Structure formats: structure tokens, C-alpha cells
Structure 1
Amino acid sequence: MAVLPPAARPFALLARFDRPIGWWLLFWPGAWAIALSGRATERWDMLLWFLLGSIAMRGAGCVYNDIIDRDLDRQVARTARRPLASGAVSVKAAWVWLVILSLIGLVVLLQLNLTAAIVALGSLALVAAYPFMKRITWWPQAWLGMVFSWAAPVAWAQMAVGDWATLALLYAGSIAWVIGYDTIYACQDIEDDAMVGVRSSARAMGGRVRGGVTLLYGVAIVCWAAAVWRVFPTPLALAALLPTALHLLWQVATLTPDDGANTLARFRSNRDAGLLLFLGLLVVGQAA
């Protein structure tokens, strides 16, 4: 952020460009689908386009979320200094910035085939509704799971694989993974969320967060294993998931839900979990 002109810094912060973990988490499900399709080496360019799209659209999503939540953000210690909540960026300027980021996303959209583009546009309703979920359900993380996993069906359609049952398993596993890691993240805000009436899976689980996240990660591994089996039905292929499974096990084994530094570190480590799964699926996809 220091290299940017002072006037640009609040906009970079608004799009969370200082926190790349978000775009990695948005990128990985699409990368997994490309890897499992067996066409990753052939269509490596799509990995780059999906990464650019993840950076732009995660930024756009953050801007939109902060526009909707600016009043709530002022009441929560962790979010009170966000550019909109603090007044560093006006609402009008935020909308302009949102349009600019969306136009970058449009450039990526134009690289896709028609089916993939239609699937991608299908995410807009989910994205638009997400900021309101924390007001009406105890499981906004489930909605986030659908949003943050949407790159998987887009990439699958782009690769023209056609085996939608395998995609469904990959997507379901990703949703469970997202709910798990975002529950860990939400542990940081339990007290503030309770004061302002914001709901979350972390609050819903209460003292059972570690067990709940373990269950969610277990569901993710089972779904991913089933997807791998459909592509390459051999026990050796399942071994490609072992590093990911061990990493997720480490997360829950060392998780301390009431320690903010611990939960933030475990949350951020999911960038590495995503990479491990990508490498495993890349091996499976190329071997199948």
C-alpha cells in the first residue's frame, strides 16, 4: 500500500488489495475444476484469467459488502476503520470504484465460452444477496460457500468436461470447506456480532466450533474424494488428497476459537490448503 499515491490507498483498502487471502480463496475452486478436468497444462491461460477475475471480483464484492454494511461496520471494532465506515471514501466514490472493478471482471467474462459466461452471470444474485444473509440466518457462511465456490462450475463449463456429477461433488466439498474456514474467521467477531445482532455460524456453534469445523472439513474431504474417484477410480488417486486432509486436520487440532491471532492464522492457512488440493487434483487430472 505504501507505494500507492495517498489518494488511491483508501480505494485499495476498500477492495482489500492489502489482504490477498480473499482472492486466493475465491480463485482455488476454479483452479481445482481446471486441474481435475485434465486440461490444466493445455489451458494454463485460463488459470491466469481466473486469477485476474478473482482479484477484481473479490474486490468488487468487498466494496459492495462495505456499502451495504457501512453502518454495521461502524459498530464493530475490527471493521470500524474500513474506508467507508470511517468516512475516508464516500458512498458515491465507492459505487464508481465498484463499477471499475466490475468492468475488469467483464474483460475476464469475455474470455469464456457462452455456457461458462452464463454460469458466471448466475452468481450475481448470490453475490447481491450475501450481505443481507447475516441479518436473516445463523448460517451466512453457507451462502458465502456458494458464492466463493462458484468459480468451480464456471471453470468446469469452460473446460467443457460434461460430467456434472463430478462437478457437483467438487462444488459441495468446496462449500463445506468455505463454511469451515469462514466459521473460524467469524470467531474473531463473536462478541461484537452479538452486540449488534449479526448472526454467524460461529455464534450458532457456540462452544462446539472445533467439532463443527472438523465435521465440515470431513464432509469436504469425502466430497472431494468422491469426485476424484469418478475421474480416476483407484486408491492411489485418493492419496493425492492426503496432504490436504492432513493440513485441514492440523487446522482443527491446533484451533483455539477464543484466540484472535490463532483463528486468523488458521483462516489464512487455507490459501495453502487450496494449493495442496490444486496440486493433488492436477496430478489426478493429468493421470486420468
Structure 2
Amino acid sequence: MAQPSKLRMMLEMIRFSHTIFALPFAALATVMAIKLPLPEGTAVRVRPLDLVAILICMVAARSVAMAFNRLADQAIDAGNPRTAGRHLPAGLLGRHEVTIFAILCAVGFLVGCALFLPNWLPLAASIPVLMFLCGYSLAKRFTAAAHLWLGVALSLAPICVWAALRGSAVLADPSDLLPAVILAAAVALWVTGFDIIYACQDEAFDRSEGLQSVPARFGAKGAFRIAAACHAGMVLVLLVLPSVAPALGLGWIYYAAIGSIAALLVYEHCLVRPDDLDRINQAFFQVNSIVSVGLLVAAGIDCWMG
């Protein structure tokens, strides 16, 4: 069998296909930012270049964060039987190669932010955003809130998109950012919940290595309860969005989607239990991809029809 190319292994290492978890929320923020009138009542005029820049920034930022995560966790991954086969600890990729890849992606992110000029907000925020995204990889060394850190990191997507497309409105009236903050809060709770569930696989290893995680601190049963609370919070936050921004026109399609998302999250918690994590990949990857894409489609349709 032919050896996979370095690029293919690099994309596998950063789980490039999982970009689907965050990208729909950036796309939904784009739709909302276009639909919602500016303070003076005019519509947002989005250049095709802005849409390209959003895609570049989303892909590049996530790639930097994942590559840095693999570099930071190489020794930890090597000691964990579940992750010892990953590309860096298995020797399929070298640190030098992954470092260069991360630097190139970081440059790509900065270029993407510069494409929004004359709106200077994205470029001004680019370095702090990258630092926060990469900081997640170090968080589990000192705080069990690392899952929340990851959730907030992904939740920056709708906020950054909003600031990039409605920069003048945000600077004139910071409350203009509120719909994006509500969407971001839902993303943060959602990601925090499913990352806690995923981390249950490493409960014993994290304890033995002194790593911080919710399962290591509270046990699998406690972790599942906290994850369930996060997911319930996500649903409640999404229900608030139409009242915060009535001009979006979110109606019965959106509410039907929220009901479906709630059912999917209940299904996710039924797929895995504290003493049975065999179907965790199905719960983590399949269900969550449906949640993110489904919300984008339903809310997007409602925005345009409303």
C-alpha cells in the first residue's frame, strides 16, 4: 500500500474534516450579520472578498490551534495508549514539519484578517485570538476548566465574524454585538459539554499524570451531569436569540430546529454512559455535526424568509 502524502497526514493529524463543527456557526453569524439592519437602518454590504476571508480565517485558525495542540501534547499522547498512534508520537510526522505547517497557517490567518481592511478590528484582534486558541492546549496542565476554554475558543467564530462584517456598528454601539454573543454562548456550552464527555475516555490516565479535567476531578458520573447541564444551557440560550434580535425574523423553523437539537443532545447522552463509552465516536462526531449543520440550515432559512 502506498504511503500517504505528508499533506494528507498533516490534514489527518489536525482532523481537518472536523472543521464542520465550527464553520456552520461562522456561516450562521454571517447570515445574521447581513440580515440585521445597521443602527442607521441600512443593510450590511458584504464583499465577496469578505466571504473568502471568513473561510480562510476559520480554516487557518483551527489548523494552527490543532497543530499547536499536537506539538504541545506529543509527550502526553505518547504515554496514553489511546493516543500513542497519533502522527507525532508514532513518528509519522516530525516536529519540524508540524511547526512549519503551524507557522504557515498562522500567516494565512493574518492574511485573511488583513483582507477585511479598511475594517481594522480583525487584524488588531488576530494575535490575541491566536494566542487564546493555542492556549487551550496548555490549559489542562493547570485547570479542569480546559473544556470551557475549548468551548470559548470555538465560540469566538461568530463573534469575530460579526466584528469583521459589522465593525463600524460595533465600534459605534457595542450592544450591536449582542446577537453574536448569544450565539457564541450557545457554541461555548455545546462544545464544553461534548468535550467533557469525550474526555471521559482519559479519566484514569489524566489522574495518573496529574492532568486537569472534569472527569479526573469529578469522575465520569459527575462529568456526565455537568455535560448535560451544559447542553441544557445551550438549548436555553438558543431560545433567547429571537427575542434579543427580533429583526432576524426567526420563527417556527428555528424553534423546530431547537427542538430537534434538544432531542439529538438527549440521544447523544443515551448513546454513551459513564460505564459504557464504546459509541463515543458516534456521539461525538456524527451527532454533533448534525447539530451544527442543522442549526445553520434552519436558522439561515428563517432569516431569509422572515
Match of 1:246 in 2: 263
Which stretches in structure 2 are left out of the alignment for 5+ residues? 37-43, 171-175
| From 28, 35, 41, the counterpart of 2:24 | 28
Give the TM-score normalised by the residue count of structure 1: 0.86
Distance 1:209 1:48, change over 3 A: farther
Segments of 5+ residues of structure 1 without an aligned counterpart are none
Bigger-Rg structure (1/2): 2
- TM-score when normalising by structure 2: 0.81
Select between 127-136 and 44-53 the one with higher mean Cα deviation. 44-53
Given candidates 222, 242, 252, the residue that maps to 1:228 is: 242
| 1:240/1:284 contact within 8 Å kept | no
Offset, 1:87:
2.7
Contact 1:205–1:212 at 8 Å: present in 2 too?
no
Residues 89-146 of structure 1 deviation map (CA, whole Å, 9 limit, x = unaligned): 3322221121122233234223333223434443122123211110111120011111
1:143 aligned to which of 137, 145, 149: 149
Q: Relative contact order: is structure 1 or structure 2 higher (C-alpha 8 Å, sep ≥ 6)? A: 1
1:191 partner letter: A
* Higher alpha-carbon deviation: 250-259 or 221-230: 250-259
Tell me if structure 1 keeps the 8 A contact 2:141–2:211. yes
Counterpart amino acid of 1:167? A
Instruction: Find the counterpart in structure 2 of residue 192 from structure 1.
Output: 205
Give the C-alpha shift of residue 179 in structure 1.
0.3
Q: Tell me the CA shift for residue 47 of structure 1.
A: 5.5
Paired residues in the alignment total 284
| Stretch deviating more after TM superposition (139-148 or 186-195) | 186-195
CA contact (8 A) 1:138 1:204 kept: yes
1:255–1:262 contact (8 Å) kept in structure 2: yes
Displacement of 1:260 in angstroms is 3.5
Q: Distance in 2 between matches of 1:14 and 1:209?
A: 27
Q: Hey, what does 1:64 align to over in structure 2?
A: 68
- What is the Cα deviation at residue 10 of structure 1? 3.8
Alignment of 1:17-56 (within 5 A): 17=16, 20-21=17-18, 23-39=19-35, 49-56=53-60
**Cα distance in 2, alignment partners of residues 82 and 51 from structure 1:** 27
Residue type of the alignment partner of 2:228: T
Q: CA deviation at 1:57?
A: 2.5
